[in-house]
Amino acid sequence: MVETNTTNNDYHFPDDFWWGSAASATQIEGAASTGGKGMNIWDYWFQEEPNRFYDQIGPEQTSDFYHRYPEDIQLMKQLNHNSFRLSLSWSRIFPEGTGEINEEAIVFYHHVLDELLEAGIEPFVNLYHFDMPMAMQKIGGWENREVIDAFAAYAERCFAIFGDKVKKWFTFNEPIVPVEAGYLYNAHYPNVVDFTRATQVAYNTMLAHAKAVQVFRHADIPQGNIGIILNVTPSYPRSNRPQDLESARIADLLFNRSFLDPAVKGKYPQELITWLKEQGLFPKTEPGDSSLLREGVIDFLGINYYQPRRVKAKEHIPVPDSPMMPESFFDYYEMPGRKMNPYRGWEIYEKGVYDILIDLRDNYGNIECFISENGMGVQNEERFMEENVIQDTYRIAFIKDHLKWIHRALEEGANVKGYHLWTLMDNWSWLNAYKNRYGFISVDLKTMTRTPKKSAWWFKEVIRNNGF
């Protein structure tokens, strides 16, 4: 049970709870072509097709954390953050993905980590957040096993170089997103639409994860832990009809358990293996893969939660000769009366985070976990500006309502250790650039001035009180 706080908070969290926010290298650093950084797939794609990006804003024009990190970290400190998740840029550290290391990148990341530690903020460091070095993509990206080895070598160097400053490591953030967006839905580079290739990319990504974990186990990082960050999206059936339940089962296998089971249990669920073979989608494997996956079991899990997935049995047979897609096996449905974030087009369903935590408690050994991303993007937030502060009361309500369900899961024995908002400051959101703003801190894109929003000051007090 969670103790009741003497400050009379209705919702009190443990004293060692991880409070903070999360960001990624490509989305905040900027300096995409300076500091010795090599090109990644986002730099290349923007160069080739700037029209695919909102307002034609690319990764060079992000929030300039590369030059302004001391100011940003001081803001985190002022706002009481005790932890911050960032990612390292593979192509900044290894411009060609392998080979010669970029010493400018090492100096930069050492400075960032030193600033965080001096501010009393623990760095949670992620190795990969959608940003494949272009040199690696040219040889096939995650379809090529050579890239798996290159990733393991990159991870090994990072552990050796930064392991004295970083104790909490992650291999991947949301590994299913490059699979979905890059190999199924034509939303990210390389813009492939091929379920078979997507399955191979997903499988090889988990092999890369396991190799990085294997390397970590041999690294000398006292009190170090390694995990993975998954965007777990609960799949809710429209009804208890067998056909709807089966649709939800398939969606859960494809989008959640395909990463959750190998990461936490060291193996794929047999029902997923059977289903992939039945559909002719089973990936190419090699001897030794199963033992490697068993070595990839994580110490703790980051959970990104934004929305539920609601599915029903298919109402129509797929069009003949159309590409096989996940939606060939189920339809989505809109729950009547659902609450929406109209700017992002996502349903807001706070209980989903509780359902995830209880599932982990009951079916995944109650693995230590934390909410590594949660948040809402809103367009034209300057509408809510009063006295130079954005009055984002909607974000406060969003966070508060999710924290209530996290607190309930805590009371019921879930092993949840923290909450990080996406994100610290308004950042570049892949194809959407700065269309929707997510941050505790607003960023003026003309002057790069940072200004905390009302939610930042509210969250500061939540952290100070360990609750609300």
Tokens of 358: 């209880």
Q: Would you call 373 a catalytic residue per the annotation?
A: yes
Interatomic CA distance for residues 412 and 401, integer angstroms: 17
Q: Is the peptide bond before 190 cis (omega within 30 degrees of 0)?
A: yes
Tokens of 16: 């060692």
- Three-state secondary structure call for residue 164: coil
Asked if residue 224 lies in contact with residue 167, where contact means CB atoms within 8 angstroms, the answer is: yes
Kind of pairing between the strands at 369-373 and 331-332 = unpaired
Report in angstroms the alpha-carbon separations of 9 from 172, 190, 216, 351, 457. Answer: 35, 49, 40, 21, 17
Active-site residue (options: 373, 386, 411, 461) = 373
Which residues in 23-167 belong to E strands, given as ranges? 83-87, 122-126
Asked if residue 271 lies in contact with residue 298, where contact means CB atoms within 8 angstroms, the answer is: no
Interatomic CA distance for residues 68 and 194, integer angstroms: 41
Burial class (CB within 10 angstroms; exposed 0-12, middle 13-18, buried 19+) of 270: exposed
> Distance between alpha carbon 341 and the CA centroid of its chain, in Å?
19
Interatomic CA distance for residues 254 and 266, integer angstroms: 17
Residue 282, C-beta contacts closer than 8 angstroms, at least 6 positions apart: 199, 273, 276
Catalytic residue positions?
A: 373
